[in-house]
Structure 1
Amino acid sequence: MSGNPVAAEALGFAGYDFVVLDMEHGPNDVPRILTLLQAMAGTPASSVVRLPWNDFVIVKQLLDCGAQTLTFPYVQNAEEARRAVAATRYPAEGVRGVAGMSRATRYGSVPDYFRDAAREICVVRQLETVEAVANLPEIAAVPGVDCIFIGPSDLSASLGLIGKTDHPDVQKALASAAKECRRAGKPCGILATNAARAADYLDYGYDWVAVGSDLGLMMAAARKDLSVLRQTGEPMHILTPEAIPVGETKAVLGESAFWSAEDDALLWVDILGKKAFRTRPDSGRSEKWSFPEQTALVQPADDGTWLVGQEKGIVRLDPATGRTEDFLAIEADDPTTRTNDAGCDRQGRLFVGTMRSPDFGLEPVGSLYRIAGRGLAETVDTGLTIPNGIAFSPEGDIVYWADTYMTNRQIWRARYDAATGRVHEKQPFAQLPEALGRPDGATVDADGCYWVAAVWGWQLLRYTPHGELDLAVHLPVQRPSKLAFGGPDLKTIYVTSISDGLSADAPQTQPLAGRLLAINLGIQGLPAVRFHLAWT
């Protein structure tokens, strides 16, 4: 919290259950906390004061100011927990000094305050290291410890993963801590940086979650309003790199970029041209395979064959011989739908979307499926118009997808259980303002940032793992469709594009439309994942 009493009072009326008055990381001293407590007093929300340290002198001053819920940071063991409790108790149970004329006693007007004070004070212990979490059962057992708070940021640093609170090892430790609190019979809380992660923590078993700060909420609202007013989305950086055409092939509806390290080539398709391509950047030479139906995707398998999306399902192609065989029927009883975007999780399971063909009128009848073998293992989402944007976090514990049209250019994310393939409830991740384009094909880079081709927007957009737009890469084509990191160091970005549906002057204003493009920003991607045939 910034320490502004007006902000504190406003947040107290905003509907939150509690507001944290922070002395550990906020610029607040004891007199400022007194002002904030006074501002909060007339609101429905409770005040939680987080101490700068386990200091009994500061504890005494805050309690005398009227604070009733105190969070003690960096508690490592049971002895430190006992000292913290003692600081909140009068002798002989503790060391709190006696002051009769204080705000806590309403200046001497609260009868029996000294007798009842201990029952009205909530002591929260903040655990934020591997050592502290290991000592959680002993800390929770200390009399007077009312609640446990787990600090994810410092815990990630203690695990050697500073700044990576989404890392599976950190999330595993956080889930384990919640279970230990349950076993100890203590309520537990945690801080989440966004609503999606807050939902995850509630799933883990946390009883309460702190979300956001006054400055963070203010900045997010300001950026959102500015993005609407300016219709730009406010990316932090805008780049206009040289886009180099790769090969001579021009697609009607280029899509499904996949970097095949084994071939040192980019695999991609022309949906309306009913073709799949393998383009080698070193020579610019493209090989092509033709199909009888619209060809929405190409996904290599780990035996060298390719899964190729057709209108009514997926066929398996042997690129060496050109022979195909039926692999999986998808919505075969609906002649109006076809396959669309696809991508594999880190274990090699395939996710594929379906959509109604524009020839039959775009309607929200598409679905997103997880494929296991030759069957649809799970319907992940329904009611989609053009499912796109399928990608997975570096650790494989988050899955992303988007709808290009009917849902206000929305991108979602969901927690993903890589061991079982279970997709948890989806949460909004980002929404593209109309002027930025619409979300099409996507990928994730080595830092966990989500990249999406903004079709109709002339650019690629990069979002941080927290859903913040931080980079726009301008392109010479209006309809980029999908991107893939490739090359020997995975630092070349290959982009497919669309030449269909453009204005009459497009051949002059955007001659590279429909071409495969390459740009280099020095940003590294992740190795593409092949379909794992063992799932069959």
Structure 2
Amino acid sequence: MTTAKAIASSRDRVGECPVWSVAENALYWVDIEGRQIRRWSPASDAVQSWTLPERVGCIALTPAVGRIVAAMETGVYVVQLGEAPAVQLDCLVAVTHPAPGMRFNDGRCDAQGRFWISTMVMDMGLASPLGGLYCLDEIGLSPARLDGLITPNGLAFSPDGATAYVSDSHPSVQKIWAFDFDAVSGELARRRLFVDMLPLPGRPDGAAVDAEGCYWICANDAGLVHRFDPQGQLLASLEVPVAKPSMCAFGGANLDVLYVASIQPGTVDPAAPGLNGAVFALQPGVRGLPEPVFSRFPMSL
């Protein structure tokens, strides 16, 4: 395993949702509070950035290069990325949150092309359990498939598509759950505790699954990325040189690089030098799987 290295000079306020595009050999991610979508290509070692009108919690690739689906504050949008900073937005579906001050947060596509996205109250200090997990497909945005969540995160699917994972990052919860997943219907069943992270360092944030079926999750506040086997046993903890890693994703030409986004602590001046808010790359010794793309566009389009 190699030491984590920052891939670019960009620094995000709340870096999240790294997604590797196999078609472009490039990494996309977002800066939620900076309202940015970013793209980095290892070939050019250059970062492109596009500014959006709202906070963007998560993104998904589509079959069309340069067309991204973004879950934001008021809805889910198709984002056409032109030559940076040119960008065009079209609303796929609007959302009515159960309370003011909410936005979409974590998200990921399943292998069937659905986009699973969660919501949260932005002020985590309220510890408000109004967050939920939703599914976007050709029918539109579903009612909440899960509710009662404070800071939902950790969305991932096992390589065989039979298990789904969800976490709650809030300090009062810090749990990861597993579900039986019906790939045909998209139904979740048999919720059970996968990992209780309260006894472990860090809070469970964003996640990924490797080709061996092990679950990787960023341990926010601990500067670690944990790897758990399919039974929830801790196998390894990899260090990153910042306190707040936020979400990880496999990428690179051989899908053997683990990319890790990070957050700038609120107590640190954003202009201060250092690596807080950087995206890191490390080679964990295992490969990931290609990230599914969103292909189940609502029939109303």
CA distance in 1 between partners of 2:125 and 2:223 (Å): 27
Q: What residue number does 1:67 align with?
A: none
Residue number in structure 1 paired with 2:26: 265
Higher strand share: 2
Deviations 1:84-138 (A, max 9, x none): xxxxxxxxxxxxxxxxxxxxxxxxxxxxxxxxxxxxxxxxxxxxxxxxxxxxxxx
Whichever of the two has the greater Rg, that structure is: 1
Please point out which of 128, 150, 158 is paired with 1:363.
128
What's 2:105 paired with?
340
Q: What is the identity, as a one-letter code, of the residue corresponding to 1:361?
A: L
C-alpha contact 1:384 1:403 (8 A) present in aligned 2: yes
- 1:182-217 Cα deviation digits (max 9, x unpaired): xxxxxxxxxxxxxxxxxxxxxxxxxxxxxxxxxxxx
Distance in 2 (alpha carbons) for counterparts of 1:534 and 1:338? 21
Paired letter, 1:461: H
Distance in 1, Cα, partners of 2:271 & 2:259: 21
Q: Is 1:384 aligned to residue 183 of structure 2?
A: no
1:476 maps to what in 2? 241
Preserved CA contact (<8 Å) 1:336 1:360: no
Describe the shift of the 1:374–1:319 C-alpha distance in structure 2 as closer, same or farther (beyond 3 A): farther
Which of 460, 464, 481 is matched with 2:229 structurally? 464
Partner SS for 2:153: strand
Question: 1:412 is matched with which residue?
Answer: 177
- Given that 2:247 and 2:260 are in contact with CA atoms closer than 8 Å, whether structure 1 keeps it comes out as yes
Q: 1:326 to 1:531 in 2, by over 3 A?
A: same
- Name the aligned partner's letter for residue 423 of structure 1: L
Amino acid at match of 2:103: R
Matched, 1:249 2:249: no
- The residue identity in structure 2 corresponding to 1:326 is C
| Kept after mapping to 2: 8 A contact 1:364/1:406 | no
Contact kept in structure 2, 1:352 and 1:370, CA below 8 Å: yes
- TM-score normalized by structure 2? 0.92
1:319 matched to 2:78? The reply is: no
Determine the C-alpha separation between the residues in 2 that align with 1:308 and 1:294: 10
Is the contact made by 1:370 and 1:377 (CA closer than 8 Å) also made in structure 2? Answer: yes
Once residues 50 and 270 of structure 2 are traced to their aligned partners in structure 1, the CA distance between those partners, rounded to angstroms, is 31
Q: 1:394 aligns with which of 150, 159, 163?
A: 159
Contact in 1 for aligned 2:207/2:247 (Cα 8 Å):
yes
CA distance in 1, matches of 2:201, 2:186: 33
SS of residue in 1 equivalent to 2:190? coil
Partner of 1:513: 276
The answer for unaligned runs of 5 or more in structure 2 is none
SS at match of 1:250: coil
Between the aligned partners of 2:225 and 2:298, the Cα distance in structure 1 is 33
The aligned residue for residue 38 of structure 1 is none
Matched, 1:291 2:56: no
Aligned to 1:138: none
1:432-472 per-position Cα deviation (integer Å, ceiling 9, x unaligned) = 13551000000100000010011101100011001111111
Q: Which amino acid aligns with 2:59?
A: V
Q: How does 1:158-197 map to 2 (within 5 A)?
A: none
Q: 1:355 to 1:333 in 2, by over 3 A?
A: closer
CA distance in 2, matches of 1:408, 1:300: 30
- CA RMSD across the alignment: 2.1
Q: Show the counterpart of 2:36.
A: 275
Give 1:424 deviation, angstroms: 0.8
Bigger relative CO (Cα 8 Å, ≥ 6 apart): 2
CA distance in 1, matches of 2:254, 2:4: 18
Q: CA separation in 2, counterparts of 1:368 and 1:332?
A: 12
CA distance in 2, matches of 1:330, 1:373: 16
TM-score (norm 1): 0.53
1:524 partnered with 2:287 = yes
* Number of the residue aligned with 1:44: none
Distance 2:204 2:292 in 1: 22
Equivalence for 2:64: 303
Q: Which segment drifts farther, 293-302 or 253-262?
A: 293-302
Structure 1 residues 270 and 505 mapped into 2: Cα distance closer, same or farther (>3 Å)? closer
More helix by share: 1
Is the alpha carbon distance of 1:500 and 1:386 closer, same or farther for their aligned partners in structure 2, counting shifts above 3 Å? same
User: 2:27 corresponds to which letter in structure 1?
Assistant: L
- Asked whether the 8 Å contact 1:389–1:401 carries over to 2, the reply is yes
Aligned twin of 2:191:
426
1:356–1:366 Cα contact (<8 Å) kept? yes
Structure 1 unmatched ranges of 5 or more: 1-238
Q: 2:171–2:203: 8 Å Cα contact kept in structure 1?
A: no
Query: 1:475 offset after TM fit, Å?
Result: 1.2
Where do residues 45-84 of structure 1 align in structure 2 (5 Å cutoff)? none
Letter matched to residue 277 of structure 1:
R
Distance 1:470 1:297, change over 3 A: same
